[in-house]
Amino acid sequence: MNSFWMPKKQPLYAPMLSTFGGGSARGFNPGGGGGANFSTQSIFDGNYSSFTKLTGSIAKRGMMFVYEDYFTTGSDHLMVFEGQASAWFSSGVYYERTAGTTLTQQNTMTTVGNGTIGGARDTAYYVDTNGDYNVYISSYASPNGILHYRLPGGLSDLTSDWSNGTYIGTAYPTTGSSWGVAVDFNRHYVYLGTHSNDKLWRWSINPANGAMDASSKDFISVAGAAGQAAGMAVAYDPWADAIYTGTTYNSTPLEIVVLDAANWTQYPIGRVSVSGLNNWTSSIGCIEVSEDSLYFQSNENSATSASNPITVLAR
């Protein structure tokens, strides 16, 4: 396996990164603070112990990790989205990864059927101090930005039914097409990666209601080791306090760039090359991370998950 290497970042002991305490979800509140049972882990910095290909009926577009169910069961729970259209996708599927390559479907969820969402790419969520669940949907067409919805039914709605979500507002990048979205619930930020440039965007989230502050919009430019544009797919790693973002279309080599979430404007602290894993020629399409695994998919335009699977790297 080929990989770039950079010095390993030491885990940050931020207020939300307390020790994982026996698999209980009690007290877990990613938005409201207090009792988030995260252990500290090293980042995925270019070195990985192994990789697995998940070849079941899985995502072609976006992924979202559900933390509460992870802490309840100890196994990874991924919400995946299999298509995009002018009215957004209605084919979200909720999986549990119990071991190895096994994906067990939990349910098929009902997503937002709002025709004004011009082709959604990725999603993230945030629990505010009122305990309300807020979802952020990246729309790559019109409107080009992050659409914020609030779900009335909490965790149950998050994993099964978004159709009754209340539209709150939209945040817009200045340039580029909206792509990956992620939330740093420790610092109350939402990130947006954009296709067709090297920009990674960030907005502050109001902890009380999950609202995005338009005046706080900021961005950095992210480049791969060969200077190719990165910043398209994006994920936040609460176990290592890191941000992962992927190179865009027609990049050689394909690469996941690792940033320090506490100092996101600084030079990358790691890089993961995917050149040794498969003969991908497209992009890093979506990224998610759990305590011990990093999930990503490239060449996500393919309709065949067997030939272009989600790949899992182990720390």
237 lies in a domain?
yes
**For strand 92-97 and strand 76-81, is the pairing parallel, antiparallel, or unpaired?**
antiparallel
The pTM for the full model equals: 0.87
What pLDDT sits at residue 24? 29
Per-residue model confidence as pLDDT tens for the chain (315 residues): 333 333 344 433 333 322 222 222 323 455 544 345 788 999 998 877 888 888 665 656 788 999 999 999 999 999 887 665 555 555 678 899 987 777 888 988 877 755 556 567 889 999 999 999 999 998 877 788 999 999 989 999 999 888 888 999 999 999 998 999 999 999 999 999 998 889 999 999 999 999 999 999 999 999 988 888 999 999 999 999 999 999 887 777 788 999 999 999 999 999 998 765 555 456 788 899 999 999 988 665 554 555 567 888 988
What pLDDT sits at residue 62? 84
Which tokens go with 95? 């999986």
29 lies in a domain?
no
What pLDDT sits at residue 14? 32
Minimal CA–CA distance to 174: which of 202, 149, 155? Answer: 202
What pLDDT sits at residue 275? 63
What's the one-letter identity of residue 256?
Answer: I
Instruction: Name the DSSP letter for residue 267.
Output: P
What pLDDT sits at residue 21? 27
**For strand 62-65 and strand 270-273, is the pairing parallel, antiparallel, or unpaired?**
unpaired
Residues 309 and 51: their CA atoms lie apart, in Å, by 12
The three-class DSSP label of residue 100 is coil
> Can you give the residue range of the structural domain that contains 160?
50-314
Can you point out the beta strands (E) in the chain? 50-54, 62-65, 76-81, 92-97, 104-108, 120-127, 133-139, 145-151, 166-171, 177-184, 189-195, 199-205, 212-221, 234-237, 242-246, 255-260, 270-273, 284-289, 293-298, 310-314
Given CA atoms 176, 294, 63, 68 in this order, what sign does their dihedral have? Answer: negative
Residue 51, beta-bridge partner list: 313
Instruction: Name the DSSP letter for residue 262.
Output: G
Long-range contacts of 223-229 (CB under 8 A, 24+ apart): 223/198, 223/257, 224/251, 224/253, 224/255, 224/257, 224/271, 225/4, 225/253, 225/255, 225/271, 225/273, 226/251, 226/252, 226/253, 228/252, 228/255, 229/197, 229/198
The count of residues in the chain is 315
* Those residues with Cβ within 8 angstroms of residue 162's Cβ, 6 or more apart along the chain or in another chain: 92, 109, 110, 111, 112, 135, 149, 151
1 lies in a domain?
no
162 sits in the region (left: phi over 0; alpha: psi -120 to 50; else beta) called: alpha
What pLDDT sits at residue 51? 82
State how many domains the chain has.
Answer: 1
Residue 81, beta-bridge partner list: 62, 92
What pLDDT sits at residue 15? 30
What pLDDT sits at residue 103? 83
What pLDDT sits at residue 140? 78
CATH number for the domain that contains residue 56 = 2.115.10.20
What pLDDT sits at residue 301? 54
3-state secondary structure 192-211: EEEECCCEEEEEEECCCCCC
What pLDDT sits at residue 215? 97
Instruction: Name the DSSP letter for residue 21.
Output: -
The three-class DSSP label of residue 69 is helix
2 lies in a domain?
no
43 lies in a domain?
no
Whether the CB-CB separation of 256 and 296 falls below 8 Å is answered with yes
What pLDDT sits at residue 206? 98
17 lies in a domain?
no
What pLDDT sits at residue 20? 27
Which tokens go with 146? 């992050």
Residues 268 and 208: their CA atoms lie apart, in Å, by 32
Whether the CB-CB separation of 150 and 130 falls below 8 Å is answered with no
**For strand 166-171 and strand 177-184, is the pairing parallel, antiparallel, or unpaired?**
unpaired
84 lies in a domain?
yes
